Homo-oligomer: A and B are copies of this chain.
Amino acid sequence: MELDERKLKILQAIIKNYLETGEPVGSRTISKYTDLNLSSATIRNEMADLEELGYILQPHTSAGRVPSDKGYRLYVDNMMREKENLIIKKEIEISDKEKEVEELKEFLVEKVDKVETLLQNMAKMLATNTNYATMVSVPKSQGKRLKFIQLSAVDSDKILCVMVLEGNIIKNKLLDIDEELDNETILKLNILFNSSLNGLTLEEINLGIIAKMKGQAGEQLELTKKVIDAVAEAMSTEEDLKIYTSGTTNIFKYPELSDSSKASDIINTFEEKQLLTSLINKEDDEQGGIQIYIGNETPIHTMKDCSVVTATYELEDGLKGTIGIIGPKRMDYEKVVETIKTAKVQLDSLYKKRPSSSDDYDMTLDDSNEE
């Protein structure tokens, strides 16, 4: 049996209708809904075929049909892509979109001077706009080069070690010392560290370099070891994960997700944010960096009744993060894809287009002055 034009139309009608109502849709509904002018009986026959092909399901005998994961997949891959082509053709829509981007940007950037806060607001905004749950991951500093390192005496028994990585990621570490150091020693150490380590990635800081540094450390061997540890910690990827979530309680708006055990599982996944890591960093850039996972396709088992749409954004070169929108399988894919694209474009362009005159906000990913 083949999936001919007519079956496709019927399938599309079923899915459209189901997205709107959330109820299983019957043959009579479709016979009225479409412009095919077919009787319900014919539709019924076609539906039986579609079911056999695996695109739709019957929750039980004598109920209407519901799209299967395979059905959604077809819908998303084919029918939505048509829409996308349309957009590319229509210049008007593009400028509309740009306008939207500008508006969003203004909203977001206004009074916000930290990327982290901005991302957090982005998550919140997406959640409010879409009525789904959202996540935004903060770009990882993994693999970045060390740009700057400096020790400063803060206390008689404490040394502050500040490191700046590529992308202006700032890291701090306070080190205990046994005896107070004079300025000259600190200066000497700063020169040592900067000349030895600057411009290197974590991988490039090898034993040879470390040994050489230790050799030059003189009396400050202990401190040097601590600094090297601090650098390693700052540049390593461990616990290097920050994800903002928002709108998790939106799932209660969808009955198919709001029974307490399902809801609990899903919300728990959002609370234990590290469970969301499998959603980020999928480097597949097909379709302009947008991924759509339907039902069991999601890498997270607790979300088997959900669909997930993600996009990868890039703040500055190499600083990549992920935006995700999570809703029921019958989510409004078109709207979600549109929204997430807009958000992606916005974040991508944030620093490229940023007017250089505005020095009100800084671009670091550091958030140490939130506390």
Known interface pairs A117-B239, A164-B160, A369-B233. Does A364 touch B246 (Cβ–Cβ under 8 Å)?
no
Q: Is the CB of A371 within 8 A of B362?
A: no
Q: Is the CB of B154 within 8 A of A147?
A: yes
Interface size class of A (residues with CB under 8 A): 35 or more
Tell me, rounded to whole Å, the shortest Cβ–Cβ distance linking A340 to chain B. 20
Q: Is the CB of B172 within 8 A of A160?
A: no
Interface positions of A from 56 to 105, Cβ below 8 Å from B: none
Q: Is the CB of B369 within 8 A of A367?
A: no
Interface positions of A from 162 to 193, Cβ below 8 Å from B: 162-164, 168-176
List residues of chain B with CB within 8 A of the CB of A226. Answer: 359
Q: Is the CB of A371 within 8 A of B169?
A: yes
Tell me, rounded to whole Å, the shortest Cβ–Cβ distance linking A253 to chain B. 9
Question: Which of B147, B169, B371 lies in contact with A365, CB distance below 8 A?
Answer: B371
Q: How far is the CA of A345 from the CA of B347 in the complex (A)?
A: 45
Question: Which of B148, B246, B362, B366 lies in contact with A175, CB distance below 8 A?
Answer: B362
The verdict on A268 contacting chain B, using a C-beta distance below 8 Å, is yes
Question: Which of B148, B152, B252 lies in contact with A263, CB distance below 8 A?
Answer: B252
The verdict on A342 contacting chain B, using a C-beta distance below 8 Å, is no
What secondary structure prevails in chain A residues at the interface with B? mixed
Q: How far is the CA of A268 from the CA of B253 in the complex (A)?
A: 13
List residues of chain B with CB within 8 A of the CB of A371. Answer: 116, 138, 140-141, 169, 240, 242, 365-367
List residues of chain B with CB within 8 A of the CB of A240. Answer: 370-371
List residues of chain B with CB within 8 A of the CB of A172. Answer: 162, 170, 172, 364, 366, 368-369
Q: How far is the CA of A117 from the CA of B274 in the complex (A)?
A: 14
Q: How far is the CA of A368 from the CA of B267 in the complex (A)?
A: 27
Q: Is the CB of B363 within 8 A of A366?
A: no
Question: Which residues from chain A sit less than 8 Å from chain B, CB to CB?
Answer: 113, 116-117, 138, 140-141, 147-148, 150, 152, 154-155, 158, 160, 162-164, 168-176, 226, 233-234, 239-240, 242, 245-249, 252, 258, 260-261, 263-264, 267-268, 271, 359, 362-371
Task: List 14 contacting pairs A-B, 8 Å CB cutoff, sorted by A.
Answer: A147-B155, A158-B168, A162-B162, A163-B369, A168-B174, A171-B368, A172-B366, A173-B364, A174-B364, A176-B362, A239-B370, A245-B271, A252-B264, A260-B263
